[in-house]
């Protein structure tokens, strides 16, 4: 697979990494139905996350236990969705029938990753319905487009306003991933890499095949 894990320098081993969220993409006309379906399966309610103006997307989120959340995201009929890599990734996954788009790893500092990849991260922000503006930096969506097993990286700049702050009764237990463990390990290149939830499976396409959740009603697998 065409991962860009052979960059000129390894990511600083001291860069703390955590699993941040998993993303599920769909067409804009299906957003409400997908949010209701996944929420019903998990026995929990999503909240309206708002718009990503620079990416041409909007999302709904479900805060989980352990500081992780699920995002259901759709690309809007907006020029930004055609220009921004994230909008392109969401639109492409939706055009394939929708499903798991990818997983995201949060870091304390983006600088070591920017040095390694030789390019700058991009600024993102999302305006919640209550007017709160959440800000972050991200990098690696181009690599996700090339190899869907790879997570992209995010550094939050919104302090205690992280989308999972509210917590929840549902926990993400596993991410079934089709890919190459060596490629992923080289991409993350960290002793702190959040791989405990990764379960390797075989499938026709690389990337997330399904996610498993522990809910008050028991285990639920969503593909």
CATH value at residue 187: 3.10.180.10
Q: Is 3 within a domain?
A: no
Count of domains observed in the chain: 1
Q: Is 47 within a domain?
A: yes
Q: Is 94 within a domain?
A: yes
pLDDT at site 133: 82
Q: Helices (DSSP H) in 73-180: which residue ranges?
A: 79-83, 85-95, 111-117, 141-146
Angle at 51 between CA 176 and CA 135, to 5 degrees: 80
Contact criterion met (CB below 8 Å) for 3 and 146:
yes
Query: Which 8-state DSSP code applies to residue 66?
Result: G
Q: What is the C-alpha separation between 137 and 123, in angstroms, rounded?
A: 5
Q: What is the C-alpha separation between 169 and 217, in angstroms, rounded?
A: 10
pLDDT at site 16: 86
pLDDT band of residue 106 (cuts 50, 70, 90) is: very high
Q: Is 10 within a domain?
A: no
- What is the tens place of the pLDDT at every residue in 12-43? 444 789 999 999 999 999 999 999 999 999 99
**Which of 20-29, 75-84, 155-164, 187-196 comes out lowest in average pLDDT?**
155-164
Asked if pLDDT for residue 114 goes beyond 80, the answer is: yes
At residue 115, the 3 state secondary structure works out as helix
Q: Closest Cα to residue 142, out of 187, 204, 106, 186?
A: 187
Q: Is 85 within a domain?
A: yes
Q: Is 11 within a domain?
A: no
Q: Closest Cα to residue 135, out of 150, 121, 118?
A: 121
Q: Is 8 within a domain?
A: no
Task: Share the mean pLDDT of the chain.
Answer: 90
Q: Which helix (H) or strand (E) holds 174?
A: strand 171-178
What average pLDDT does this structure show over 185-206? 92
What average pLDDT does this structure show over 197-217? 96
Domain that holds residue 115: 17-222
Q: Is 6 within a domain?
A: no
- What is the tens place of the pLDDT at every residue in 42-95? 999 999 998 888 899 999 999 999 899 999 999 998 888 999 999 999 999 999
């Amino acid at each position: 697979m065409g991962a860009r894990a052979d960059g000129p320098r390894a990511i600083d081993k001291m860069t703390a990494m955590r699993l941040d969220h998993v993303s599920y993409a769909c067409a804009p006309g299906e957003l409400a139905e997908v949010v209701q379906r996944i929420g019903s399966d998990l026995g929990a309610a999503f909240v309206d996350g708002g718009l990503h103006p620079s990416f041409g997307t909007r999302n709904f989120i479900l805060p989980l236990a352990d500081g992780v959340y699920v995002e259901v995201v759709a690309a809007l009929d907006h020029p930004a969705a055609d220009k921004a890599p994230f909008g392109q990734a969401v639109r492409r996954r939706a055009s394939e029938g929708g499903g798991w788009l990818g997983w995201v790893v949060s870091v304390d500092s983006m600088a070591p990753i920017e040095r390694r990849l030789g390019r700058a991260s991009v600024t993102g922000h999302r305006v919640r319905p209550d007017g709160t503006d959440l800000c972050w930096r991200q990098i690696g969506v181009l690599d996700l487009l090339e190899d869907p097993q790879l997570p992209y990286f995010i550094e939050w700049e919104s302090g205690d306003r992280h989308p999972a702050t509210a917590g929840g009764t549902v926990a993400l237990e596993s991410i079934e991933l089709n890919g190459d463990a060596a490629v992923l390990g080289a991409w993350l290149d960290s002793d702190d890499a959040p791989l405990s939830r990764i379960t390797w499976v075989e499938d026709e396409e690389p990337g997330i095949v399904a996610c498993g959740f522990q809910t008050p009603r028991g285990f639920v697998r969503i593909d």
